[in-house]
Chains A and B, each alone.
Chain A
Amino acid sequence: MPQPIEQQKVLQDKVKEHEHLVVEGMDISGHWNRMFGQRAIFDYDPDNLAKVATLQGGESLEWCYGCAKCTAVCPVDIVGDYSPRKIHRKTQLGIDLFTSDDLWLCTTCRNCLRVCPKEVDMIQIMPAVREQAVLAGNVPAELQKAFEDTAKFGNPLGQAQRKRDAWTKDAGVPVPVMSTIKRPVDVLWYVGSYPSYHPRGIDAARAAARIFAALGVDYGILGREEKDDGDSQRLAGEKGLFEMLAEDNIAAFNSYEWQRMVVTGPHEYNAFTNEYPKLGFDRPVQHYTQFLAEHLDELRPLLKHEVKARVTFHDPCYLGRHNGEYDAPRALLQAIPGVELVEMGRCRENGYCCGGGGGGMWLDSFTAKHTSMRLSERRVREAAEYEAEILAVCCPFEVSRFEDAAKSTGNDSLKVRDILELLDLSMRG
C-alpha cells in the first residue's frame, strides 16, 4: 500500500498537529505539539526515475524537460495537483512512483501526450508501472475488487456470467444470440459489460437493439460467451487479466462467421482495434456511432419525432483522442430533428475526461481523496455553463458517472443520455 508520508524520503509541506496529546503526563494538545513537515530537499535520488525508465513502456518518463504543457490540459490537475510534469519532477526527487498514490490518478485520457513536445507517453508509462505495483500487491482496494470480479465473473460489475444477456428480454425486439441462431451474420455486436449489466447501460443496449431491428441489420450477439474486453484493467496494471480475457474473447469471436464487428463502447473499440491485433485478432471493428453514421441515409427517415433540446456532446477519450473519431457522433446528433447541438469549450481533441478511463471507473473513492471534485462533476458543470439541457454521450462508462455528477452538483435538470437513447427516442417518440 502507499507509503505513509512520514516514511517518504521527500516530504510534502504538511503541518501536523494532534488535537489531544499527552506526553509523559504533560498535556501538549493542539498547537503545543504542532510540527512542520520537512521542507528543504536534502537529496535527489534519480534511481527511482531509472527504475521507471528500465520498464518496457516506462522509458519516456525521464524525457520530460519540464515545459509543463501537459499540466494545463491534464483533467486531473484541473481538479487536483497532478500532471505528468509533476510526476517526472517528484520521481526525479526520489518519490517512489511504484508506491505513491499518484500512480492511480491518471485516467490515461491522452491529452498530455497530445501536447507533449517530447512525447512522454503516460499511456505506456502508467500500465508499465502499475503492472509492477499490481505484482507487488500495492493496489487500492476498490480497484483490486474490480480486478477480482473481472477474473471471477468476466465483468468488473461482479454480475453472473449467465445473466450477461438477461437485458435482451425486455428489449422489445428479439435479440439474436449467435449460439442460438447458428448461422453467419453480417454484424457481430459486442455489447460490453456496462451495457449488459448496468441499469443505465442496459437502456442504451435496448435502444441499440431496437435501432438495429428498425434498420434491418443482420446481426448477432455473443451473449454468455462474451466477456469484458479487459482494456481498462490492462491500463490499470492488470496485463495478465487482460490477456486472459482477450484469449477467451478472441476464441469466441473466431467460433462464429461474421463480416464486421460493432461495439457499444470506445474502450472496447480501442481494445479490439489497437490491442487485440497484437494477440492475433485482426478484423474490422466499428464503434456504433461509426456504423450508424454510415447508415445515416436509412436511419434518417426513421427519426420521426422531434427531440427539442439544447444538446452538448462529451467526446469519449478513447473514441476521440485515442482513435481520432470526432465526427460520427456529431453526425448522428445533428440528424435528430429538434436537437440544437452546442459545443463545450473543452471538446473534440481537447475534450475533458469523465474520469472513468484507465481504471478510474473503479477508483472513485480513492481519487475523490485527492481531488477537489470528481472529473465527472467538473464536466457536468461545464455542460451546465453552456446551458445544455442534455449531455449526450456514447461511452457506457459515462451515463452513470455523469448522472451521479449532475445530482451531486445540483444540476438535476441536466439530462444525461447515450446517443443510442436519443436516436431511439426520436424513432419511437
Chain B
Amino acid sequence: MPADNVMVIGGGPAGLEAARLLADIGTKVTLVEQRDFLGGTPIAENYAALTHGFHSAEEMMGAMVARVANNPLVDVRLGSAVTASEGEAGDFRVTLASGGASEVVAAGAVILATGFQHFDPGRETQMYGYYEYADVITLADAEGMLKQGSFLKPSNGQVPERVCFIQCVGSRDRQIGNEYCSKVCCGISSKQAIEVRQLSPTTKVFIFYIDMRMYGYWENEIYWPAQEKHHVQYVKGIITEIIKKGDRLLIRGEDTTMGRPMEVPMDVVVLAVGMEASQGTRQMAQLFGVAQNKYKFIDVPHSALDPVATSVPGIYVAGAAAGPKDLDDTIGMAGAAAIKAAGLLRRLVMA
C-alpha cells in the first residue's frame, strides 16, 4: 500500500507554497524544516521588502506560514534534519532527527525545496575587500539595514553621500566556477537603490553593471521607476577593484560607453552577490541520490517541459534548490511540484 502523504523538505517560500497547495487539494503533507522557524531565507537573512509591491518580507512570509501552520493536513516538523532515506516512488522511508531522537517517516513522494545561499564575496576573484572594509557590504547586509529602516555608512554611522552597487559578484564568472546568472541581483539592487533613495533623497545612487537583466515586473516595477522616478544612475561597466582612500572607497573600473577609466569615490559599496546551492540543497541531493548540475544545484533533466522532475522518480524540486530563481518562478515551481507529487500518489493508489 503506497504512502498517502508528500514530504516537503524546506520551509521557505517554495516549501510553504507546495505544502499549502497539497493541503488545498486534500493531500497530507509532512513539512520538514531544519531551522526552528518557518519562512526560509527571507526571514533568516532579514530581508526587508520583497518584490513585487515592496511588501514587508515578514508580513508576506507570515501570511504564507499562517496558511500551513494550523492546517490539519500539514504535519510541520521544525528543527528536524533528514539523516537517511530509502525506498522508491510511493514508498519512501525518510529518517528525521530532532532533539537527539530519530524517527522514520513514510512518504509517497518528496519535494525538495531547500533553496540557496548567498555567494560569499570572500571568494570573489576581484579586489572588493568585503572582509577588510566596513563600508563594502552585500545585498543581504543591505537588506538587514533596510529592515531596520535606516541606511548609514557602517564605518561612521553617517548618511552616505554616494552609494553604488556592483553587479554580478560571484555570478557569470568562469574563474569562480559560477558561469550562471543569478537572475535576481540586478532587480534586488535596483529595488534597494530605490529604497536607499527613498530613505535618503540626498544620497546619490549608482549601479555599475555588465548587462542589466530584468524582465517582467523587474523591468516595469523596478528598473524603469528606479531610473525615471528615483534618479538612480546606471553606468555600463563593472568595477574591477576597490581601494581605500581616506575614509572613503575609491572604485576603479571603466565607464565603457565613454571608453574612459573611472576612479570615483564612494561611501558605501554594495556587492550584488548571487545565489549558490545551499548546504541543505547539497546534502539532500546526495542523501536522496538525485543528480546535481555542475554548480551543485539539483538537476532538472527536462527543465523546459518538466521543470520540477529530478533524476529520481517521485522526487521533485521547487524553487532555488534547482538554481537561481525569483519569487515568481519559485511559487510557480511549487505549484507544479505539488500537482506532480499529488498526481503520482493518485496514480499509485488507483493502480
Contact = CB atoms under 8 A, between A and B. Distances in A.
Interface in B27-55: none
A40 B263 contact: yes
What are the 4 A-B residue pairs with the smallest beta carbon separation, nearest first? A41-B262, A40-B261, A46-B233, A63-B228
A66 B206 contact: no
A76 interface: no
Interface in A48-72: 49-50, 53, 62-63, 65-66
Q: How large is the interface on A (under 10, 10 to 19, 20 to 34, 35 or more residues)?
A: 10 to 19
A46 B204 CA distance: 8
A39 interface: yes
B264 A66 contact: no
12 contacts: A39-B260, A40-B260, A40-B261, A40-B263, A42-B262, A42-B264, A50-B231, A53-B231, A62-B228, A65-B234, A66-B234, A85-B257
Contacts of A205: none
Given A41-B260, A42-B263, 17 more contacts: A40-B260, A40-B262, A41-B258, A42-B262, A42-B264, A44-B204, A44-B206, A44-B235, A46-B231, A46-B233, A49-B231, A49-B233, A62-B228, A63-B227, A63-B228, A89-B257, A89-B258
Interface string A276-300: 0000000000000000000000000
Contact of A43 (B224, B257, B264): B264
B255 interface: yes
Q: How large is the interface on B (under 10, 10 to 19, 20 to 34, 35 or more residues)?
A: 20 to 34
A420 interface: no
Interface in A69-113: 85, 89, 92-93
B236 interface: yes
Interface in A32-47: 39-44, 46
A41 B263 contact: yes
Q: Of residues B206, B224, B227, B260, which shows the largest number of chain A Cβ atoms within 10 Å of its Cβ?
A: B260
Q: Is the interface of B mostly helix, strand, loop or mixed?
A: strand
A62 B227 contact: yes
Nearest to B266: A44
A89 B204 CA distance: 16
Nearest to B205: A46
A50 B231 CA distance: 8
Contacts of B212: 65
Interface string B233-268: 111100000000000000000010110111111000
B261 A39 contact: yes
Nearest to A39: B260
Contact of A44 (B227, B233, B257, B261): B233
A92 B257 CA distance: 12
A53 B265 CA distance: 24
Contacts of A53: 231
A39 B254 CA distance: 11
A44 B264 contact: yes
A52 to B, nearest CB: 11
Contacts of A85: 257
Contact of A65 (B227, B260, B262): B227
A93 B257 CA distance: 11
Contacts of B206: 44
Contacts of A13: 260
A93 B260 CA distance: 11
Contacts of B257: 66, 85, 89
A62 B227 CA distance: 7
A306 to B, nearest CB: 54
Nearest to A11: B260
A65 to B, nearest CB: 7
Nearest to A68: B257
Contacts of A49: 231, 233
A46 B235 CA distance: 12
Interface in A258-285: none
